[in-house]
């Protein structure tokens, strides 16, 4: 939570991957605190549903269907957010996927390229689009979605995804340090397994899901809202000395 009451009121957050899961939960949490929410997702109808729920709860929101692997579309997204609300204060790059589970020798060029296009280029494009606005404002916060997988390497299931998230982690560190003296903070979150559509979309076998859960000392997956509350804290004035870090959220597991 912020130190200053009403800290988020009137400020604007752009969230990619906002149609479901962590992105959607984060949108609703920022709206609860009075922020303007720009909801973006490849699933434009899902992004609109998130925005509608914000407005039904009395908040301010706009939505756009966006393919974050398309630089021009990402630039347009940020321009639309600026036009809608007059400012962009926070960016949460939640969009990401492993696409499918694969052993190392089964990873082909198409899977590797798609994984890096979405997770790495999508994050890169959005950061390049918002940084000039944040520099003009004299401040801003970017939170990127990394993963515990970068620590484990994803053996036997998702080396392609772990490598992409490792790149996100490194890029976060570089951007944070380059702009640290100009009011911009850049952080990442490295979750363990979370209850989202991600696992189903990646066709994660039930046995692997059970293994993931058994690796967590709390014996449960995290909830999207638990990540969203962390994003809120990281963007708040209670975390003003935090930058260039990743925060591990995993119920005590995910290291094996």
Would you name the residues annotated as active-site residues?
Answer: 161
Greatest alpha-carbon pair distance for the chain in Å reads 53
| Of residues 92, 81, 19, 23, the one with CA closest to residue 49 | 19
Q: How far apart are CA 103 and CA 201, in angstroms?
A: 17
> In 3-state terms, the chain is what percent helix, strand and coil (to 5)?
50, 15, 35
109-116 helix and 159-179 helix, angle to the nearest 10 degrees: 30
Burial class (CB in 10 A: 0-12, 13-18, 19+), 82: middle
User: Terminal CA-to-CA distance of the chain, rounded, Å?
Assistant: 31
């Amino acid at each position: 939570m912020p130190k200053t009451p009403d800290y988020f009121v009137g400020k604007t957050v752009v969230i990619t991957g906002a149609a479901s899961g962590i992105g959607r939960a984060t949108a609703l949490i920022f709206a609860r605190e009075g922020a303007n929410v720009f909801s973006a997702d490849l699933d434009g109808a899902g992004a609109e549903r998130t925005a509608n729920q914000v407005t039904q709860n009395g908040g301010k929101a706009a939505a756009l269907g966006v393919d974050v692997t398309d630089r021009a579309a990402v630039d347009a997204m940020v321009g639309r957010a600026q036009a809608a609300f007059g400012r962009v204060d926070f960016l949460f790059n939640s969009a990401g996927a492993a696409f499918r589970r694969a052993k190392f020798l089964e990873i082909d060029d198409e899977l590797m390229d798609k994984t890096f296009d979405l997770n790495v280029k999508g994050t890169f494009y959005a950061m390049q689009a918002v940084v000039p606005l944040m520099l003009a404002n004299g401040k801003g916060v970017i939170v990127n979605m990394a993963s515990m997988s970068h620590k484990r390497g994803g053996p036997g299931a998702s080396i392609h995804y772990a490598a992409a998230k490792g790149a996100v982690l490194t890029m976060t560190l570089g951007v944070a340090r380059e702009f640290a003296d100009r009011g911009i903070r850049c952080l990442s979150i490295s979750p363990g397994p979370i209850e989202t559509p991600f696992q189903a979309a990646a066709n994660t076998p039930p046995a692997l899901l059970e293994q993931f859960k058994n690796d967590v000392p709390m014996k449960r997956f995290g909830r999207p809202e638990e990540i969203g509350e962390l994003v809120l804290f990281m963007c708040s004035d209670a975390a003003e000395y935090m930058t260039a870090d990743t925060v591990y959220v995993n119920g005590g597991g995910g290291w094996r």
